[in-house]
Structure 1
Amino acid sequence: MQKIFSYRLWILLLLTTASCESGLSDLNVSKTNPTALDPALLLNQAVINTSFPVKSLVFDVGIVQQMVTPNGGVLAGANFNQDSRDVTTQPLWTAYYQSVIKNSHDALMRSKDDPARSNMYNMARIYQSYVFMILTDEYGDIPYTEGGAGFSDQVLLPQYDPQQEIYPKIIQELTEAAAALDPAGTIETGDVLYAGDVAKWKKFAYSLLLRAGMRLSKVDAATAQSTVQAAVAGGVITANADNAYIRHDPNFTQPIGSTLNGSEAANFYLTKPFVDQLRQTDDPRLQAIAIRYVGAGSGAGQTVAAGTTDPAQQIGMPIGHDNGTIIAAATADGLVSFYEYSQVDRRRMVKISSPVFLVTAAQTNLLLAEARFRGWIGTGTAAQYYADGIRAHMDQMATYDPNAAVSPTARDNYVAANPLTAGSELEQINTQYWIASFLNGPEAFANFRRSGFPALTPNPYGQPNNPDVPNGTFIRRLTYPTSELSVNTENVNEAIARQGPDKLSTRVWWDRP
């Protein structure tokens, strides 16, 4: 009996020891550091980090003459036709490659071989294509094939792909991914862009395909036409309910809104070309967008009490001045100081919680108007698409703030008074695209270069002796950041040799005179 008892005691001790060791090993497993991330979280991280950074104001928005600052230093860029690689590093290259491309690529790789996450995989392909399109439009040749492989494949010095090869790949990705989205598959409800709505993701993809096709209008008309036709056949965004936009709140703030409600509140102004375009056509969007602080002698004078949104009172800042010469210009315009020039209303249009629109019904309808005018599609009429695009953008104003809403009566009166006119179709359509892309700097910049409209006068500041932007010309691209020139030297130099000098005046592949 004693022997049996000893065996039982020995077994009990073994079990107890094993249990203790199991508990100790569990202590070494982190409960808060997951070994695998849900690709939905990664894609969401990519989306929310796409909101156009503050320095987009310095180049994109300034180049297309919607807003400008007379101040230099860290704000120097399009206002002085001045290259600033430290500035160009921040807005898109560093932020997009290190966060947006990295996360969308990671989401793509983690869902690629999981049939249950097929929709997630294709959503990630679509979104990454959108971001790559922005990057190549801004810089030209970029790391595309190896652009997101730093984390997954340890490619730390990626090669640059020619833009001429990137666009066909983007078109292929959008085409395949849109077709593969399946409403019968897993619906990714955690998606912050469309809550996994497959029909809306398809429209987003085909709208991007339309945009990509139109980019090629000067360099490859045949491919442009076939791509546009495929996009229209797939179904594009034509109603504001399907707009692709990023939502912000007091915790996750809009980058431009945060800056224009903070340190740079008194530094950026609506330009004379932009304000004059809206004033001269009695455009009701001017009242929705602009505010002027009458009598302001400094930033401190820009108070709520001094503000007026009356369109007749709006005065845009002329292009080509610094904070010395702008004083005389303001005096000539009858202003107390340059602080009296009109600004985008930071209490309505660019609040810290304002949305950032990526692809909209307004933009898509206007591209359809051009495609119809060119005879590339056979549905609808150019005039109807044109009118629908204007209406969509005016209706979009209310999304920024209820006090920025354009009334249906004002909207319809404007559309009736400004029809598409024979002989000026391309100028009218693309001038409206310029207005409809306000605050979407990368898209406004890209379409301005592609179409040549609106017919802006080049910024004259310092041009006669400017090595980067010759007299009478515009900035055509952003230059590569210093980090690439110093670290990824061989690959970036190969791109420069192929594309042309790494200057603001060098045209990207699809940008033809």
Structure 2
Amino acid sequence: MKKKLITYSSLLTMGLFLATGCTKNFDKLNTDPTAFSASNFDPNYLLTTAQLNYTGSQDFSYDTWRADLIYCSDMIQGTATSIGYWAGDKYLSNPDYLAAYWQSDGGGDGAYAEQVKPIVDMVTTTTGVAKYNNLHQIGRIMKALIFERITDLYGDVPYSQAGDGYYGKILFPVYDKQQAIYTSLISELQDATSKLDPNGDIPTGDAIYGGNIGKWQRFGNSLLLRVAMRLSKVDPATAKTVVQSVVGKTMTGNSDDAFLIHDPTGGRPTVNRVSQVLQGGPENQYVKWSERFIDILQGKVKRTDPIDPVPDPRLAVISVTNYTIGTTTPAGDATPADQKGQPNGYDLSGTPGLTLGSAPGFTTLGDYSCPSTYLTQLGSPTIILTYGETELLLADAAERFGIGGSAASHYTNGVTAAMTYLTEYDPKALVTPAQAATYLAAHPYVAGETGLNMINTQYWELTNTMMDFYESWCNWRRTSSKANPLGYPNLTPVVYPGNATNGTIPRRFPYPTVEAANNPTNYTAAHNAVPGGDTMTGLVWWDVQ
């Protein structure tokens, strides 16, 4: 499908309307017919722009590079690296990098400029326009998707007034409480999804589903499920009620997976930014799968344990050792038993005990496993939300709340989908249903806390293979509490000198300090209200301990 783009600066002319005077047809006679306006501009362009920007396609990789990779991927122990500026698994504070998703420096403009502005414009200009009903509702769903990530990273954030500087003349938006944001996300998703009309307009700017309204209905309900389950610690009653409302309405198979396909030549504006980062600079040699990730896929509790006789079949597809990302030769070694993850928390400083060469079991850098070429091709899709995630969340709800069917059945569906969806990256990235069934037979579901561990460990494995480390970190925080501080899966924190978290896995991103100058009153109120302080150890509302 042809992708349509328009820069935000060109949209500013949309509101240039002349005031009505006494002369009949004054507006018609005195309005430039070539200028953009709400009546002659196709808002489908804005949907495409918001979708591309959500996947990081136009931001020169700063949001993706710094937030998803440098921080989330390492601190959630999906990956590990010894590159000095990758601070995630050392729990070091780099204010510019932590602010990048909100408002970047030196490159992309962050989510508020690149995602919020176009989607708010689209929702605003299509409100009440019958011919754009489905486009409008999809815009509302996309807006919820965008804001869920922003608030999950930072907590209380501008929401109700965000992106309204042009239409509402609001230049200093308030920071809405996260509880209020989540209440609105639930309401918006419920209403927007219910108003999608399979017999209505087909959005031409939809780069995800190509305007398939049935898939958007299932996506909206699946996103609503994820939003609801985020509240399982802080507001289980609401979580349970909302989950019950979407049972039977969520994704039904891998064919419903939401992903955006990128340009295999690496050209802008549709390049896969994760792949671009991993193929550039030192990342192609130094970014590895973490020891914890590989150990779990091999069925080991710790590195020195023997490999399970039936390891996770994804290993042969997503991991390769003796390989440099982005190259074709040598092809590397994808044998599951040969995979070896890099321990988190080591650098290249040469300091005894800190440098990678002093890590237990270190031989050479090349022996550590890295993401395979299937996951790191420039044309690899960005996976947004999957049937596998949905089924694992339903399994969690069934085990936790006793609703929505059998936890074991949802678990089986979720694990099978999480293994077989990989062909969305490349048809050769094949894990068959039979391989998944063999794995499940060797590792049957066990109810209770063990079951919750199994479900959410599989969710972590899936979102790591999706390269959606934002979601991996969010769900781990959801399953971590005072009673279970290591979360699911159990992750052992890194103790690195000078870390900013007292040796604990970070819980949120601090607010960008530039907000103190740009929006001082509202920033100060939000900064002072963060439970535990506006630091990497503060808590967002749903992450109660």
- TM-score past 0.5 threshold: yes
Corresponding residue number in structure 2 for 1:11: none
Amino acid at match of 2:319: A
Match of 1:478 among 509, 517, 527: 509
Q: The residue matched to 1:245 in structure 2 has which SS?
A: strand
Runs of 4+ deviating beyond 4 Å: 28-31, 299-303
| Mapped partners of 1:486, 1:419: distance in 2 | 55
Q: For the aligned residues, what is the CA RMSD?
A: 2.2
Corresponding residue number in structure 2 for 1:384: 409
Report the CA distance between 1:401 and its aligned residue.
Answer: 1.6
| Mapped partners of 2:164, 2:325: distance in 1 | 48
Corresponding residue number in structure 1 for 2:370: 343
Corresponding residue number in structure 2 for 1:58: 70
Report the CA distance between 1:506 and its aligned residue.
Answer: 0.5
Q: The residue matched to 1:512 in structure 2 has which SS?
A: coil
Corresponding residue number in structure 2 for 1:217: 232
| Mapped partners of 1:213, 1:442: distance in 2 | 17
Report the CA distance between 1:98 and its aligned residue.
Answer: 0.4
Match of 2:384 among 338, 358, 363: 358
Corresponding residue number in structure 1 for 2:443: 418
Could you give the per-residue CA deviations for residues 230-252 of structure 1, whole angstroms, max 9, x where no partner exists? Answer: 1225x001311111111111332
Corresponding residue number in structure 2 for 1:262: 280
In the TM superposition, 1:321-336 aligns within 5 A as 321-323=346-348, 324=350, 325-329=354-358, 332-336=360-364
Report the CA distance between 1:279 and its aligned residue.
Answer: 1.1
Amino acid at match of 1:206: N
Corresponding residue number in structure 1 for 2:124: 109
Report the CA distance between 1:489 and its aligned residue.
Answer: 1.8
| Mapped partners of 2:505, 2:48: distance in 1 | 36
CA contact (8 A) 1:70 1:79 kept: no
| Mapped partners of 2:403, 2:235: distance in 1 | 16
Identity %: 35
Corresponding residue number in structure 2 for 1:247: 261
Amino acid at match of 1:506: G
Corresponding residue number in structure 2 for 1:6: none
Mark the CA change 1:398 to 1:326 in structure 2 (over 3 Å): closer, same or farther. farther
1:200 maps onto 2:215 in alignment = yes
Q: The residue matched to 1:373 in structure 2 has which SS?
A: helix
| Mapped partners of 1:286, 1:366: distance in 2 | 20
CA contact (8 A) 2:99 2:509 kept: no
Match of 1:157 among 172, 193, 201: 172
Report the CA distance between 1:300 and its aligned residue.
Answer: 11
Match of 1:444 among 436, 453, 472: 472
Mark the CA change 1:378 to 1:328 in structure 2 (over 3 Å): closer, same or farther. closer
Corresponding residue number in structure 2 for 1:285: 314
1:67 maps onto 2:79 in alignment = yes
| Mapped partners of 2:163, 2:52: distance in 1 | 18
| Mapped partners of 2:387, 2:253: distance in 1 | 5
Amino acid at match of 2:259: Y
1:230 maps onto 2:262 in alignment = no
CA contact (8 A) 2:50 2:116 kept: yes
Corresponding residue number in structure 2 for 1:47: 51
Report the CA distance between 1:485 and its aligned residue.
Answer: 2.6
Mark the CA change 1:333 to 1:51 in structure 2 (over 3 Å): closer, same or farther. same
1:505 maps onto 2:517 in alignment = no
Amino acid at match of 1:50: Y
| Mapped partners of 1:469, 1:382: distance in 2 | 35
TM-score scaled to structure 2, two decimals? 0.83
CA contact (8 A) 2:509 2:536 kept: yes
Amino acid at match of 1:138: L
Could you give the per-residue CA deviations for residues 266-308 of structure 1, whole angstroms, max 9, x where no partner exists? Answer: 12111000000001250111111111117xxxx7998722611
Corresponding residue number in structure 1 for 2:13: none
Corresponding residue number in structure 2 for 1:21: none
Report the CA distance between 1:421 and its aligned residue.
Answer: 1.1
Report the CA distance between 1:107 and its aligned residue.
Answer: 0.6
Q: Which runs of 5+ in 2 are unaligned?
A: 1-28, 57-63, 104-108, 300-307, 480-486
Match of 2:147 among 117, 132, 143: 132
Report the CA distance between 1:89 and its aligned residue.
Answer: 2.5
Deviates more, 1:211-220 or 1:150-159: 150-159
Deviates more, 1:357-366 or 1:397-406: 397-406
Q: The residue matched to 2:320 in structure 1 has which SS?
A: strand
TM-score scaled to structure 1, two decimals? 0.88
CA contact (8 A) 2:82 2:356 kept: no
Mark the CA change 1:129 to 1:301 in structure 2 (over 3 Å): closer, same or farther. closer
Corresponding residue number in structure 1 for 2:41: 37
Report the CA distance between 1:334 and its aligned residue.
Answer: 4.9
Q: The residue matched to 2:237 in structure 1 has which SS?
A: helix
CA contact (8 A) 2:78 2:469 kept: no
Corresponding residue number in structure 2 for 1:459: 494
Corresponding residue number in structure 2 for 1:399: 424
Corresponding residue number in structure 1 for 2:526: 495
Structure with greater helix share of residues: 1
- Aligned pair count? 472
| Mapped partners of 1:353, 1:362: distance in 2 | 22
Q: The residue matched to 1:402 in structure 2 has which SS?
A: coil
| Mapped partners of 2:43, 2:326: distance in 1 | 48
CA contact (8 A) 1:398 1:404 kept: yes
